[in-house]
């Protein structure tokens, strides 16, 4: 009788341990799957690190630095569109293009195509300006949903100072 009882208890203990470890493994497994899904569906984003919104900058050379997440920057030359990759368009005093079926080239203001995380605008005049950056596909169309950021800055200094300097040193 005691041997049978011990066997029963032993079986119960093993059974419980197996159930418990199975539950833990399952929970762990589903947690991993959730993380992987989150990574795969994480939205591409771009933020302007510098200058900050409302900043005063010095007229002349104004460098815009950005941070890009969940997006791979690739040279746009001749590549077909691919999910999660593309390049940047930097804008100066331009309305950010939003037409999903047209290259994101503004009708007014400056724009530059780039795969770099910073761009320096030259000869920025004194006064108020807006600086934008947008994530675009390899064919230059905007990412949909749109991904861009704009900061407004005030450039201080002599508006013609840089031009004069350039003329003197030329
Ligand atoms: Cu482009």
Model pLDDT, residue 78: 79
31 CA from centroid of ligand 1 (Å): 38
Looking at the structure, do residues 82 and 28 belong to the same domain, yes or no?
no
pLDDT at 9: 44
C-alpha dihedral over 58, 61, 67, 72, to 10 degrees?
170
- 16 and 78 in one domain? no
Residues 104 and 136 in one domain: yes
Same domain membership, residue 68 and residue 14: no
Report residue 163 CA to chain centroid gap. 34
Q: How far is the CA of 137 from the centre of ligand 1 (A)?
A: 7
Question: Does the predicted model carry a pTM greater than 0.75?
Answer: no
Inside any domain, residue 142 = yes
Mean pLDDT by 10 residues, the chain (170 residues): 49 43 41 44 92 98 98 91 97 98 97 98 98 97 97 85 40
State the burial class of residue 60 (Cβ atoms within 10 Å of its Cβ: 0-12, 13-18, 19+): buried
pLDDT at site 13: 44
DSSP 142: B
Same domain (yes/no): 26, 70: no
What would the DSSP string read from start to end of 51-93? SPTT-EEESEEEEEEEEEES-EE---TTPPP-TTEEEEEEEES
> How far does residue 10's CA lie from ligand 1's centre (Å)?
69
Predicted pLDDT at 3: 56
How high is the pLDDT of residue 170? 33
Distance CA 153, CA 156 (A): 10
Domain count, the chain: 2
Distance CA 72, CA 115 (A): 9
Indicate if 54 and 91 belong to the same structural domain. yes
Distance 139 CA to ligand 1 centre (A): 6
- The residues, any chain, with a CB within 8 Å of residue 83's CB and separated by 6 or more, are none
Structure tokens at 139: 């064919």
Asked if 130 and 75 count as a contact pair (C-beta separation under 8 A), the reply is no
Domain of residue 56: give its range.
Answer: 45-163
């Amino acid at each position: 009788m005691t041997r049978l009882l011990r066997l029963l208890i032993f079986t119960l203990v093993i059974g419980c341990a197996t159930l418990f470890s199975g539950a833990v493994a399952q929970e762990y497994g589903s947690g991993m799957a959730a993380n992987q899904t989150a990574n795969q569906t994480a939205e591409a984003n771009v933020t302007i690190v510098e200058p900050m919104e409302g900043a005063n900058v010095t007229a002349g050379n104004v460098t815009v630095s950005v941070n890009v997440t969940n997006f791979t920057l690739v040279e746009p030359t001749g590549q077909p569109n691919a999910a999660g990759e593309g390049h940047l368009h930097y804008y100066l005093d331009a309305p950010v293009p939003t037409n999903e079926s047209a290259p994101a080239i503004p009708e007014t203001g400056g724009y530059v195509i780039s795969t770099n995380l910073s761009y320096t605008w030259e000869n920025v005049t004194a006064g108020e300006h807006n600086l934008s950056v947008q994530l675009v596909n390899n064919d230059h169309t905007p990412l949909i949903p749109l991904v861009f950021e704009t900061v407004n800055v005030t450039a201080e200094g002599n508006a013609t100072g840089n031009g004069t300097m350039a003329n003197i040193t030329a």
